[in-house]
Amino acid sequence: MSFVGPLGLSVRDRTLEADTQAGLTAVEEGLLEATKSDVPFITEAAQHLVRAGGKRFRPLLVLLAAQFGDPHAPGVVPSAVVVELTHLATLYHDDVMDEAEVRRGVSSPNARWGNSVAVLTGDFLFARASHILADLGPEAVRIQAEAFERLVTGQILETAGPRDGRDPVEHYLDVLAGKTGSLIAVSGRFGAMMAGADESIVSILTQYGERLGMAFQLADDLLDIASDSHESGKTPGTDLREGVATLPVLYLREQAEATGSAEDLELCELLAGDLTDDARHAEVLRRLRAHSALERARQVTVRYAAEARSMLAPLPEGPAKTALEGLCDAVVHRAG
């Protein structure tokens, strides 16, 4: 038997399996406790996405990173709760910005209660994360604050778009490093740090998390185009409909400009039009799914996952290192 965790990761070592299962159960309990309020309506709204489930990718990384020190150290589970609460809070805000209707297979908070409640609930989750952080010490607060600043900066850069003369692909990768890489890097860092691992190991797992986060988000962007709603838990083509140009779209535009292909230029024109029209949206999705730009973006995803894996080389061999390597493979499989 082996424990199958987020992204289909298989953990075959019995001790690691037991630690991981116990840790994720404790994180789940911590999330429910942290989202309780004296006001029942706030509890309902705050627990909406917690109860909808999710991959718990970030808490899993915290728990695996903690294996390089004392995995049962008192700060490990609370720090995992902090990163997941922060992630959940950003989802409440993202769905307002994207006007999304579905999240994790359920109605999005903004679709259910309106934008104001969704934004304020996200703020409530940030507050609860900060409360837990305060007990983890000033260094943890500083690390989280820096990551949160990077996260918000990435979101603002995405909204503002690349400045004149900036390569759109470089700009986009910078956006992802902030939006997603920052918090996943902190997940690796917190796990090792809270477990008392050597500083060199903390550094390795931070850099690993940054690159894995890039691969993870790029895979997510590919899924937005290539998957159906059953697989991804949200409406396919949400980014397209909202005018967010992810890597496949940027590569399509680059190719169209370089070759002057009539077919590519026509697809670019369709993308620039009104994608709230369902027929037009479906046509764009169909053509993008068959375009070489999608495969080119997938190869970039594979490259980041390979970089993440290579970062692990100095770590001692063992089940935890194998599981972290497995996360790289799982992200690539997800992008396939």
Q: What is the pLDDT of residues 120-146, one digit of tens each?
A: 999 999 999 999 999 999 999 999 999
First to last CA, the chain: 26
- pLDDT value of position 93: 84
HSE-up of residue 164 (Cα within 13 Å, Cβ side): 0
- Tell me the average pLDDT across 160-180: 93
Alpha-carbon gap, residue 162 to 92, rounded angstroms: 25
Q: Is the pLDDT of residue 4 over 80?
A: no
Strands 106-107 and 3-4, by their bridges, are unpaired
In a domain, 35, yes or no: yes
In this structure, is residue 148 part of a structural domain?
yes
Q: What percent of the chain has pLDDT over 90?
A: 70
pLDDT at 186: 98
Instruction: Decide if 197 is inside a domain.
Output: yes
**Contacts made by residues 314-321, CB under 8 angstroms, sequence distance 24+:** 314/200, 314/204, 315/68, 315/201, 315/204, 316/68, 318/67, 319/11, 319/12, 319/13, 319/15, 319/16, 319/67, 320/16, 320/64, 320/67, 320/68
Count of domains forming the chain: 1
Residue-wise pLDDT tens digits, 6-23? 555 666 788 999 999 999
pLDDT at 2 over 50: no
Among 267, 274, 269, smallest CA distance to 288 is for: 267
Q: Which residues have C-beta within 8 Å of that of residue 167, sequence separation ≥ 6?
A: none
pLDDT at 296: 95
**106 within a domain of the structure (yes/no):** yes
Task: Determine the structural domain holding residue 26 and report its residue range.
Answer: 14-335
* 269 in a structural domain: yes
Complete DSSP assignment for 187-253:
HHHHHHHHTT--HHHHHHHHHHHHHHHHHHHHHHHHHHHHS-HHHHSS-TTHHHHTT---HHHHHHH
pLDDT tens per residue, range 56-110: 999 999 999 999 999 999 999 999 999 999 999 998 887 777 666 777 667 777 8
User: pTM for the whole thing?
Assistant: 0.90
pLDDT digits (tens, 9 = 90+) for 299-325: 999 999 999 999 999 999 999 999 999
Q: Check pLDDT > 60 for residue 210.
A: yes
% of residues, the chain, pLDDT over 70 = 92
In a domain, 5, yes or no: no
The answer to whether position 276 is within a domain reads yes
Contacts of residue 333, Cβ cutoff 8 Å, sequence gap at least 6: 7, 8
Per-residue pLDDT tens for 224-243?
Answer: 898 765 455 557 788 888 78
Per-residue model confidence (pLDDT) at position 231: 53
- pLDDT of 10 reads 60
pLDDT score recorded for residue 185? 98
pLDDT at 1: 33
Q: Is residue 242 part of a domain?
A: yes
Among 11-15, 34-38, 180-184, 323-327, name the one with the lowest average pLDDT: 11-15
pLDDT tens sequence across 37-67 = 999 999 998 888 888 878 899 999 999 999 9
Mean pLDDT over 198-209 rounds to 98
The CATH number for 149's domain is 1.10.600.10
Q: pLDDT at residue 271 above 50?
A: yes
